[in-house]
Structure 1
Amino acid sequence: MKMKKKKAIALFFLAGCMLPGYWIWLSLRPVEIIAVHHRGNNFSAILVQNPPITDKGKINWWMENKATFKEKYNVPNPAEDGSFSVTVWLFGDGYKEEGKYDRFCFNDMKTKKNCIEKDAVFTVTHSKNRGTVFTVYDGDNYRLARNGDIIKVASD
């Protein structure tokens, strides 16, 4: 009986060590930008693999890389009034044909496989009235304050 308890404790301890290790590994993987697409003047889509896991990680990734996005991909590409919308999408299994499913397609690609599954990670929008807002699809909404602080926005 004592041997079974020791084995159970050892397995529990091993699992307890592996879970945080897996979480750290997931957190440290670099975000890979697969493609960038533009729709109209001020709408852009960034397709990624290995997006940050947490809301804070997603926002920090955007804030740390926004100059690179602008320089390398012309994202965001604001309208005359300064408004823009950038959605970061999970690339998943890659481009697919439109098919029977509700997929998000890119008209700037002249091929049958120009769609992805609708799996949005987060969106960054900016307007004169609201400022910069981060919509995280598996979490909450946040606003960039004038002083640079990120403020959680109350849900309706």
Structure 2
Amino acid sequence: MRVKNKKTIVPLFLAGCVLLGYWLWLSLRPVEIVAIHHRSSGFSDVLVTSFPPTDKGKINWWLKNKDMLKDKYGIPKPDSDGYFYVTFWLFGEGYKKEEKYDRLCFDDMKTKVNCIEKDAVFSVDKSRNMGVMFTVYDGDNYRLDHNGDIIKVASD
């Protein structure tokens, strides 16, 4: 095959390399935990500056780091029935005042600058009926079965 127009191929190749490099950078960034907030029985919020971009990357990050999260931060913090719900939020531009409608505010902070924009990226919950479930906010839902396999949950 002969290339007729090298002026077109070279820019496309370079653009592809830049996109691939950006994707690799996104995928390999470490997750930085900024803060942990416990709202009510069984509910915890984790504020992060980055998170893996893919569904599989998010779930694998949880599976790899769940023991560290329990040891270092005390999450998940199940209620008396063993139920828990952990949500990971992008910290974005940091804490803000409540001024704007629909910000998530944390009562455990004794300041007026205690809210974040609602930008959830991932959550993990455990209930008696469903077991451990993963919710990816720009993707799908998954369940951890009894064999340790990750099963995609059909959408309604």
Place the TM-score, normalised by the shorter chain, in its bin.
over 0.9
Q: What residue is the counterpart of 1:49 in the other structure?
A: 49
Distance 1:6 1:128 in 2: 61
Question: Structure 1, residues 20-74: CA drift from partner, whole Å, max 9, x if none?
Answer: 1111111001011000000122100000011110011111111100001101111
Give runs of aligned pairs for residues 6-155 of structure 1, distance below 5 A: 6-155=6-155
SS of 2:107's partner is coil
Alignment partner of 1:122: what SS?
strand
Percent of pairs with identical residues: 68
Q: Structure 2: how far apart are the matches of 1:138 and 1:103?
A: 19
Unaligned segments of structure 1, at least 5 residues: none
Q: Which amino acid letter does the alignment assign opposite residue 12 of structure 2?
A: F
Separation (CA, whole Å) in 2 of partners of 1:54 and 1:149: 17
Deviation, structure 1 residue 19: 1.0
Two-structure CA RMSD over aligned residues (Å): 1.1
Counterpart AA for 2:92: G
Q: Give the letter aligned to residue 140 of structure 2.
A: D
Cα shift at 1:114: 0.3
Q: Secondary structure at the match of 2:108?
A: coil
For residues 100 and 40 of structure 1, the distance between their equivalents in structure 2, rounded to whole angstroms, comes to 23
CA deviation vs aligned residue, 1:84-137 (integer Å, no higher than 9, x gap): 000000100100000132100000000111000000011111011110000111
- Structure 1 residue matching 2:147: 3-state secondary structure: coil
- Cα distance between partner residues in 2 of 1:18 and 1:71: 39
The runs of at least 4 consecutive aligned structure 1 residues that moved more than 3 Å come to none
The CA deviation at 1:8 is: 2.2
SS, match of residue 101 in structure 1: coil
Counterpart Cα distance in 2 of 1:80 and 1:100: 35
TM-score normalized by structure 1? 0.95
The gaps in structure 2 that reach 5 residues or longer are: none
Rounded Cα–Cα distance in structure 2 between residues aligned with 1:135 and 1:18: 30
**2: CA distance, partners of 1:107 / 1:88:** 17
Name the CA distance, whole Å, in 2 between partners of 1:114 and 1:153: 35
